[in-house]
Amino acid sequence: MNATQPLTHSVGIILAAGHGSRMRSRIPKPLHTAAGKELIRYPVDLLTKCGIKNIVVVASPSNLASLTAVVGDTVQYVVQPTADGTADAVSWGLSALDYAPELVMVMAADTPLVRAKSLRLLIDEHTSVPNRRMTILTATDVFAPDLGRIERVAPGDPSAVGPVAAIVEARDRGDDSASFEPAEVNTGVYCFDGPWLSRNLGSIPRAPSGELYLTALTKLAAQAGDEVVAAPFAWADEAMGVNDRQQLSAVSTVLQDRINSHWMLEGVTIIDPATTYIDADVTIGMDTVIRPNTMLSGQTIIGEECEIGPNSVIHDSVVGERCSVVASTVEESSIHADVSIGPYSHLRPQSVIERGVHLGNYVEVKNSRIGSSSAAGHFSYLGDADIGPGVNIGAGAITCNYDGVSKHRTTVEAGSFIGCDTMLIAPVTVGARALTGAGSVVTKDVPPAGRVAGVPARLLAPPDEE
């Protein structure tokens, strides 16, 4: 199947209305994050990647608004008024459509480990046989006593695999010792013939728990002689879901291992994968080295031939080629090529660091642009500032940008030299090629090529007039 080609007359239904009470959280379970990405976004992105053009998210009355805020208008939404089981949720999902789908994909919002390859194989298997009613993505030899198990009819030929008879949910198996042995398990991902699904949802009996299980369709189909196939295409980890914080941690660990492995195969060196945390939406260029205790989060983009870490945190930022960020934090900022930062520096949001800049020890930058080839080597604060190219910022220099009521900007033009411990009292401009003496408190604009010193800083005579 071509993943970029939409499946016509199809729909993907994502079940996201469960209460998630075991999470013990005010945050709806589908909005908890794994590898920096909300759980609900994993099935949405996966179905889209596999060619499912129309997606319906089944929400609860309490989580509809928060789901909409995260996923946006890329999907349809429908509310399941009461938590009456997965079959009821799918019924509500179908009710949101103004057409009769030929193929219906169903996934849960809390199973982020399903791979695109497995889903494509499932769709291909389902569509390869005319009139196939139901195809279930399964994983074999899985030790998972809390998952539904596939029951098959014993075949006449011992070497054959019997047809599917039912899916038995964990809560309905009691204390059966076989429940704690490896088995073929249900991943919660299904392909249905759309018309058949619509006809049979109303025939599902209530389980002992009182809910309407979607999995009950397997037994109904088998009894009616309709073809149901359990397709064991999934790896064992794809069956892992999230019901509590421990499972969320376990899923996150698997995702992080996949992400790190992917980037290493793409030509990124990760010195210690166990202490490297890279979010799902991060991009990293070839020949970059990631050193231990580093976190790359959000929509971060790292260019080629960079050295990041150790002990660095970069969030929602762009880092150009051949940059070094050592033991520093970068937030929502843009760093051009050939920049060196750290150790122990902090770039706060809306900072732009142009090509060839050096920011050394304990430099904090906030909402500022630092011009190309400028340098701030030690212990500086540059907030709400526009620093031109080729500027040298001496140790201890700061922009005093806040007067207690408003923030003001500081401008330092090209080629200027800001002496150690200079305080620039904004709003103020230091002209091109100007110089401030050590310890100056600059309260007035400095003209181009001017020299100032003192508290407050005063304009000094040119050298040939002294």
Residue with tokens 């979607």: 214
> CA-CA distance, 366 to 403, in Å (whole number)?
16
**Cα dihedral across residues 106, 107, 108, 109: positive or negative:** negative
Element (DSSP H or E) covering residue 65 = helix 64-71
DSSP reduced 3-state for 17:
coil
Q: DSSP assignment of 86-130, as one string? A: HHHHHHHHHHT-SS--SEEEEEETT-TT--HHHHHHHHHHHHTST
> CA-CA distance, 338 to 345, in Å (whole number)?
17
> CA-CA distance, 305 to 321, in Å (whole number)?
6
Q: How many CB atoms lie within 10 A of CB 259?
A: 23
- Backbone φ, ψ for residue 217 (5° rounding): -65, -25
Nearest to 300 by CA among 275, 325, 271, 273: 325
Q: Catalytic: 336?
A: no
> CA-CA distance, 385 to 221, in Å (whole number)?
69
> CA-CA distance, 238 to 187, in Å (whole number)?
7
Alpha-carbon 308 to chain mean position: 20
Element (DSSP H or E) covering residue 70 = helix 64-71
| Of 9, 19, 378, 408, catalytic | 378
> CA-CA distance, 76 to 210, in Å (whole number)?
28
- CB 165, CB 269: distance < 8 Å: no
Nearest to 132 by CA among 226, 198, 197: 226
> CA-CA distance, 61 to 414, in Å (whole number)?
58
- Strands (E) located in 285-374: 289-290, 294-297, 301-302, 307-308, 313-315, 318-319, 324-325, 329-331, 334-335, 340-341, 346-347, 352-353, 358-366, 369-370
Residue with tokens 């330092």: 412
Q: What count of residues does the chain have?
A: 466
Helix locations, 128-266, DSSP H: 194-200, 216-224, 245-265
Catalytic site residues?
Answer: 378
